[in-house]
A and B are shown apart, each in its own frame.
Chain A
Amino acid sequence: GAGVSQSPSNKVTEKGKDVELRCDPISGHTALYWYRQSLGQGLEFLIYFQGNSAPDKSGLPSDRFSAERTGGSVSTLTIQRTQQEDSAVYLCASSLRPPGASTDTQYFGPGTRLTVL
């Protein structure tokens, strides 16, 4: 079946502009995660959605970052007034089972490479 998809694959923007990144999770997956990965680094958690529960926003680096998940499916990560340090690959993952279950394997999309000039 279809995996996690993300769009756009690449985004170049100017400092100070707002950007929106989209994630389409695997159908039926209840959990959705956003991470970012700077060059040569491991993944940094940003935000987590689980069903209708309040999202875990503990990883968002500043109030310029926000995310929504509409209808329990598609998610949009928004970065306002982008800065050069926001340049990174933004990865989305989804999983079938909530963390209370015995496993929580996350399936990742290909990522969006954001470059802020």
Chain B
Amino acid sequence: DAKTTQPPSMDCAEGRAANLPCNHSTISGNEYVYWYRQIHSQGPQYIIHGLKNNETNEMASLIITEDRKSSTLILPHATLRDTAVYYCIVRANNAGNNRKLIWGLGTSLAVNP
């Protein structure tokens, strides 16, 4: 079973910030939060990941709450090309732990003109 909970769908106006929430209330101390997205008919694409601190890269920002039970992916200026399904995944990186990513159904983000 997926360890995360995400809203099934969201809408965002082009040029606006898209804020995608994720709940991971059972996250363990050694589990990272990963975000991927999947544009229609393509393989998933890595976006960002974090452990405790907020992270930012050229694609997005990741805000993790202090208790680490939830996070938000922020696309600062959404474009039509950001329309995709966004997956939030928690995963431990320690050797011997479950290596596979456990995927839920994600959030289908529609960016509208």
Q: A residues bordering B, Cβ < 8 Å?
A: 4, 31, 33, 35, 40-45, 48, 50, 56, 58-59, 91, 93, 98-111
Interface readout for B38-64 with A: 1 if CB under 8 Å, 0 if not? 000011111001000000000000000
**Contact between A99 and B2, CB atoms less than 8 A apart:** no
* Complexed CA–CA distance, A31 and B93 (Å): 13
**Contact between A41 and B93, CB atoms less than 8 A apart:** no
* Complexed CA–CA distance, A103 and B93 (Å): 7
**Interface residues on chain B, number (Cβ under 8 Å):** 24
- What is the CB-to-nearest-CB distance from B27 to chain A, in angstroms, rounded to a whole number? 16
Q: How many A-B residue pairs have CB under 8 A?
A: 64
Q: Which residues of A contact B46 (CB under 8 A)?
A: 105-107
Interface readout for B12-54 with A: 1 if CB under 8 Å, 0 if not? 0000000000000000000010100000001111100100000
* Complexed CA–CA distance, A93 and B104 (Å): 17
* Complexed CA–CA distance, A105 and B47 (Å): 9
- What is the CB-to-nearest-CB distance from B4 to chain A, in angstroms, rounded to a whole number? 10
Q: Which residues of B contact A42 (CB under 8 A)?
A: 2, 87, 103-106
Q: Which residues of B contact A50 (CB under 8 A)?
A: 99
Is B91 positioned at the interface, with any CB of A under 8 Å from its CB? yes
Q: Which residues of A contact B101 (CB under 8 A)?
A: 33, 43, 45, 106
* Complexed CA–CA distance, A101 and B46 (Å): 17
Q: Given the interface contacts A42-B103, A44-B103, does A109 sit within 8 Å of B43 by beta carbon?
A: yes
Q: Which residues of A contact B95 (CB under 8 A)?
A: 98-100
**Contact between A103 and B102, CB atoms less than 8 A apart:** no
Q: Which residues of B contact A43 (CB under 8 A)?
A: 44, 87, 101, 103
Q: Name the residue of chain A whose CB is nearest to the CB of B102.
A: A45
**Contact between A99 and B43, CB atoms less than 8 A apart:** no
* Complexed CA–CA distance, A22 and B38 (Å): 21
- Having A103-B93, A106-B101, A107-B46, one finds 19 other A-B pairs with CB under 8 Å, namely A33-B101, A42-B87, A42-B103, A44-B103, A45-B102, A56-B99, A56-B100, A93-B43, A99-B97, A100-B95, A102-B93, A103-B32, A104-B93, A104-B99, A105-B46, A106-B46, A108-B43, A108-B44, A110-B43
